[in-house]
Structure 1
Amino acid sequence: MIRFIVRRLLQMVGVVVILSLLVFAWLKALPGGTVSALLGERATPERRAALEKALGLDQPIYVQYWEFVKRAVRGEFGASTGVQPGTDAFDVFLTRFPATIELAVCALVLAIVLGIPLGYLAARRRASLFDNTSIVFSLIGIAVPVFFLAFLLKYWFAVKLQWLPVSGRQDPGIDATRVTGFFVLDGLLTREFDASWDALKHLILPSLALATIPFAVIFRITRASVLEVLDEDYVRTAESKGLTNRIIRGRHVLRNALLPVVTTIGLQTGGLLVGAVLTERVFSWGGLGDALAIAFQRRDYAVLQVCILMAAVTYVVINLLVDIAYAVIDPRVRTR
């Protein structure tokens, strides 16, 4: 098991290195170069020369890349010029990262808690009304764009019915204590349960909007995987031996059917980071998705660098955890 983890860690390092090369190449390919992008209309020859020397752009390309990597490892990406002008770009990331993680985790939990049981039940009741209805709803979940569903949820439940908050992470009137940046968790840790409950209410609508696509995918993969496993010989053998349904479901059906589902969950986690850009904009969530959108609009390349690199590292780490979970479920994977 340790050898398997070490092998995956080495692969993860390779992915991060390649990604850093791509981000570095993107910076070099900016119209007019990094200096023009940072100075804008203030790009006089003197300022260009001073900034090029300060950034080390007068050095050979391999030296520039090595300096870029060292700055990235130290978290030195420069100051934000658009999202939070004057603030260190890495501090912008650290401030907004908990908001996106809180939203993504809640959406993923919803997708898993609903997708796997419903997919299993649909497979067990193949061709029934429940199965057909579930398939229709899963297709709708995939087909409807996230931002459109977000607007619908916001209009019906926040504006029309006024059951839930319209936007934001928490009511500005609540004087909550910040500990981790995760508003629901902070309220629980500080025993400010009113703040935690308010943050949870703000979390419901954006989580539902963001969870629709991963729920639909997890549901369909679970259903297809369970149907495939139910037709295997070892399941029929277990039934002929008189084993109880509980043992057959847990030991033979679900354990084997979960293998492709675990992989799908890891892939959908990356999709949540992409969908968060649209969802956070609709609900004024104030996370990384919102920061990325503003950074693109205002050409804030310092924030773009740190957000792209850190989001990729997060995605790679999550996939490492998925690989480990896969190896725990199926020991044969460790030898591949």
Structure 2
Amino acid sequence: MLRFVVRRLLQMVGVLLVLSLLVFVWLRSLPGGPVSALLGERQTEARREALEQALGLDQPLPVQYVRFMQRALQGDFGVSTQVLPGEDALDIFLSRLPATLELSFFALVIAVALGIPLGYVAARRKGTALDTTTVIFSLVGVAVPVFFTAFLLKYFFAVEWNLLPVSGRQSIGLDATRVTGLFVLDGILTREWDAAWDALKHLVLPSLALATIPFAVVFRITRASVLDVLDEDYVRTAEAKGLTARVIRGRHVLRNAMLPVVTTVGLQVGALLSGAVLTETVFSWRGVGQALAEGFLQKDYPVLQVLIMAAAAIYVLVNLLVDITYALIDPRIRTR
């Protein structure tokens, strides 16, 4: 098991190195570049040359990349120029991360809590009206863009029916104690139940919008996996032996059907982070996704660097945990 984990860690380091090179080259190939973003309308040839020399951008690209990696390993990604001028780019990421983690966690809980049970029931009742309805619903979830779903939820539940908050993470003027940056958890830890309830209400619509695609994917993978397992000989043998449906379901069907589902759930974390850009923008959710959108619009290169690299590191780390979980469930994976 240890060799398996070490091998995956080395692969993770390699992926991050390649990604850092791609991000480095891509940001410096964008029109204008970081110097134009910093100077803005005050740009002159003399100022441009002076700033390039001060930032080391007049050096060969390999030298620039080595310096970039040296600073990155020390947590120095530069200072924001537009999103929050003067603020350290890494601090911006750390301050926005709890909002995105909270939103992604609730969206993932919704997707898994609905996708796995419905996928299993649909597979057990293949060809029935329930199966057809849930499959159509999952197809709609995949086909409809996240931002459109977000606008629909916001219009009906917040604007027309006034059942839930329109935007933001908590009501303006609410006096709440901050502990972790996760507003619902903060309210529970401090026993400020009104703050926890208010934060939870603000989470409902963005979580539902963000959960639509992961739900559809988890549902379809679960359904397909259960159908495959139900056709296996060992399931029919268990039925022939007279084992109860509960034993067959838990020991033979769900345990084996969950292998691809575990991988799928892990991969959906990356999808949630990318989908959060649109969802957070629609609901004015001050998380990493909204900061990334602001960085693109305002050409804030230090913020873009740290957000892309950090999001990729989280994605790779989650996939490492998924691989380890998979190996624990199925020991055969460790030998591959």
TM range (shorter): over 0.9
Counterpart of 1:190 in structure 2 is 190
Map residues 1-336 of structure 1 onto 2, 5 A cutoff: 1-336=1-336
Partner SS state of residue 176, structure 1: coil
Q: List, as ranges, runs of 4+ consecutive aligned residues in structure 1 with deviation greater than 4 Å.
A: none
AA aligned opposite 1:171:
S
How far, CA to CA, are the matches of 1:95 and 1:215 in structure 2? 28
AA aligned opposite 1:277:
V
Partner SS state of residue 47, structure 1: helix
Partner SS state of residue 126, structure 2: coil
Displacement of 1:108: 0.6
AA aligned opposite 2:26:
W
**8 A Cα contact 1:30 1:37, kept in partner:** no
Displacement of 1:234: 0.7
How far, CA to CA, are the matches of 1:187 and 1:251 in structure 2? 39
How far, CA to CA, are the matches of 2:221 and 2:61 in structure 1? 46
How far, CA to CA, are the matches of 1:44 and 1:75 in structure 2? 31
Larger CA deviation: 223-232 vs 285-294: 285-294
TM superposition score normalised by structure 1: 0.97
Residues 124-178 of structure 1: CA distance to partner in whole angstroms, max 9, x if unpaired?
1111111111111111111111111111111111112111111000011211111
TM superposition score normalised by structure 2: 0.97
Larger CA deviation: 187-196 vs 109-118: 187-196
Displacement of 1:28: 2.5
Larger CA deviation: 31-40 vs 157-166: 31-40
How far, CA to CA, are the matches of 2:308 and 2:260 in structure 1? 28
How far, CA to CA, are the matches of 1:27 and 1:126 in structure 2? 50
How far, CA to CA, are the matches of 2:151 and 2:30 in structure 1? 34
Identity of aligned residues (%): 72
Unaligned residue ranges in structure 1 (runs of 5+): none
Aligned residue pairs, count: 336
Displacement of 1:62: 2.3
How far, CA to CA, are the matches of 1:51 and 1:190 in structure 2? 48
Larger CA deviation: 250-259 vs 38-47: 38-47
**8 A Cα contact 1:274 1:289, kept in partner:** yes
Partner SS state of residue 216, structure 2: helix
Residues 204-255 of structure 1: CA distance to partner in whole angstroms, max 9, x if unpaired?
0000011011101110110011000000001111111222212211111111
Displacement of 1:59: 3.2
Unaligned residue ranges in structure 2 (runs of 5+): none
Displacement of 1:32: 4.0
Residues 250-304 of structure 1: CA distance to partner in whole angstroms, max 9, x if unpaired?
1111111111111111221111111111111111111111111111111111111
AA aligned opposite 1:227:
L
Displacement of 1:54: 2.7
How far, CA to CA, are the matches of 1:54 and 1:193 in structure 2? 52
How far, CA to CA, are the matches of 1:329 and 1:279 in structure 2? 34
How far, CA to CA, are the matches of 1:244 and 1:53 in structure 2? 75
How far, CA to CA, are the matches of 1:72 and 1:145 in structure 2? 34
Displacement of 1:313: 0.5
How far, CA to CA, are the matches of 2:152 and 2:298 in structure 1? 28
How far, CA to CA, are the matches of 2:125 and 2:216 in structure 1? 18
How far, CA to CA, are the matches of 2:41 and 2:173 in structure 1? 41
**8 A Cα contact 1:82 1:300, kept in partner:** yes
Partner SS state of residue 153, structure 1: helix
How far, CA to CA, are the matches of 1:229 and 1:25 in structure 2? 46
How far, CA to CA, are the matches of 2:291 and 2:34 in structure 1? 20
**8 A Cα contact 1:110 1:215, kept in partner:** yes
How far, CA to CA, are the matches of 1:31 and 1:151 in structure 2? 32
Q: RMSD in angstroms over aligned alpha carbons?
A: 1.3
Larger CA deviation: 171-180 vs 60-69: 60-69
